[in-house]
A = this chain, B = another copy of it.
Amino acid sequence: MEKLERQQVFRDPIYGYIHIDYAFIENLIDTKVFQRLRRIRQLSGVHMVFHGAEHSRFIHSLGVYELARRFIEIKEINETLSIREQLLFLTAALLHDLGHGAYSHAFEYVFKVNHEKIGAKLIKADQEIGEILDKIDKDFKYDVASIIDKKHKFPIIEQLISSQLDVDRLDYLERDAYFTGAVYGHIDLERLMRIITVKNDKIVFKESGIHAIENYLISRYHMYWQVYYHPKARAFEVILEKIYLRIHDLLESNFDFGHDVTALKRIMEDKNDLEAYREIDDYYMNGLIAHLTKSKDEILSTLSIDFLNRHIWAYLDDTKENAAKIKEIKKEYKDLEKYYTLSTNVEQSAYSETSKNMGDQIYILKKDGNIEPLSAHSSIIHSLITTSIKEDAKFFYKVKK
């Protein structure tokens, strides 16, 4: 793959610059499906609590790409991956979030789709992307898709992109901390890059840097509890889920929305309608919801007004002590309960997937050459694992006036 005559750059608040060495990366960034990521916020509901968190999946995707580019310069990774694999890594890093839609978690939950599956499909089906990647070789786009869809054909690249300590998480923790203004969340990236290595076809970390990993896990733990799982952000996500739910139900009953909802309808009919899927970004949904504040369906207008004006719902710990109170609230709503209340825990929340088995799959390369899971090393890690699986179930509800 020929390099650009002159390296291109994007100014970035986290890394100073994002560096583009290859023309095909530049071309991928210019495609419509990638530019679409500018129109999807990284942290759907979080900006309602941390008002700085207005950044998009576009900026995060560039960041993950930049980290992949830097990881490739690490001697052991550079020597392990062939040139083609390095290009696969860069491409998969850049495109890993391509399948996301507007307010993905809520959307996926209601419409029963999966953004990683869709991302893989988009890479295989999109014409612009195909034209670019086919020039590398005819299998290239299929291999990129297989990495995003975790088919285990390229286990090291999959580990680098999606594991307990990967370029995706390293970028979003640091970036989300920057934009929210959280003091936690800062990571010793340079140190982590000095201790990462490859052993037995596995990404491992040298024992000497165990403190940097501890620090990373703790930063992550704090970002989850302070930012991602903030109850008010979760409450806002609940409103979104309910909006999708009501739209879904009304679509089924052929309600007249007074607005173009073709794309949503098409997806309901065919989960593989990529063209329709691509339309559903924040611009689409926000424009729709703004319109729906005036809907003749009262449930939909109520939910949309709450969304637009940040009327955040109330919540209670979903405990035995509160059971009677919760029952009472539900009862008040009668058969509308499904639109105005939700019992949920963080495992079902927007960020749940990323918090599973914290620390589980990080392997330490000991000085004697053996490999051990990190949790065997540190009582702090052990307690983090134990702590993070706690459920934190909450009951969210709209307060009746």
Contacts of A39 in B (CB 8 A): 286, 308
Contacts of A283 in B (CB 8 A): 283, 286-287, 289-290, 308
* Chain B CB within 8 A of A52 CB: yes
One of B17, B52, B291, B382 near A287 (C-beta < 8 A) = B291
Q: A11-B180, A39-B286, A379-B383 are in contact. List 17 more A-B contacts (CB 8 A).
A: A9-B194, A13-B180, A14-B181, A17-B190, A32-B308, A35-B308, A35-B309, A38-B47, A54-B59, A258-B260, A279-B290, A282-B286, A283-B308, A284-B287, A379-B386, A380-B383, A380-B387
Q: Is there an interface contact between B287 and A288, defined as CB atoms closer than 8 Å? A: yes
Q: Is there an interface contact between A181 and B13, defined as CB atoms closer than 8 Å? A: yes
Task: Determine the residue in chain B with the shortest Cβ distance to A225.
Answer: B211
One of B51, B56, B225 near A10 (C-beta < 8 A) = B51
Instruction: Tell me the bound Cα distance from A9 to B290 in angstroms.
Output: 28
Could you tell me which A residues sit within 8 Å of B by CB distance?
A: 9-14, 16-17, 30, 32, 35, 38-39, 47, 50-52, 54-56, 58-59, 62, 178-184, 186-188, 190-191, 194, 211, 214-215, 218, 221-222, 225-226, 258-260, 279, 281-284, 286-291, 308-310, 378-380, 382-384, 386-387
Instruction: Tell me the bound Cα distance from A226 to B382 in angstroms.
Output: 20
CB contact under 8 A between A181 and B290, given known A35-B309, A54-B55, A379-B383: no
CB contact under 8 A between A183 and B38, given known A384-B380, A387-B380: no
Contacts of A179 in B (CB 8 A): 13, 179
Q: Is there an interface contact between A178 and B13, defined as CB atoms closer than 8 Å? A: yes
Task: Determine the residue in chain B with the shortest Cβ distance to A390.
Answer: B379
17 cross-chain CB contacts under 8 A? A10-B51, A11-B182, A13-B52, A13-B180, A39-B308, A54-B55, A54-B56, A183-B186, A184-B188, A184-B211, A211-B226, A218-B380, A259-B260, A282-B286, A379-B387, A380-B383, A380-B387
Q: Is there an interface contact between B260 and A291, defined as CB atoms closer than 8 Å? A: yes
Instruction: Tell me the bound Cα distance from A35 to B10 in angstroms.
Output: 31
Q: Is there an interface contact between A38 and B310, defined as CB atoms closer than 8 Å? A: yes
Instruction: Tell me the bound Cα distance from A46 to B14 in angstroms.
Output: 18
Task: Determine the residue in chain B with the shortest Cβ distance to A386.
Answer: B379
Instruction: Tell me the bound Cα distance from A54 to B54 in angstroms.
Output: 6
Instruction: Tell me the bound Cα distance from A79 to B13 in angstroms.
Output: 30
One of B12, B14, B190, B309 near A16 (C-beta < 8 A) = B190
Q: Which 10 A-B pairs have the closest CB atoms?
A: A287-B287, A13-B181, A283-B286, A383-B383, A183-B188, A379-B383, A13-B52, A283-B290, A16-B190, A51-B59
Task: Determine the residue in chain B with the shortest Cβ distance to A284.
Answer: B290
Instruction: Tell me the bound Cα distance from A309 to B58 in angstroms.
Output: 13
Instruction: Tell me the bound Cα distance from A222 to B380 in angstroms.
Output: 12
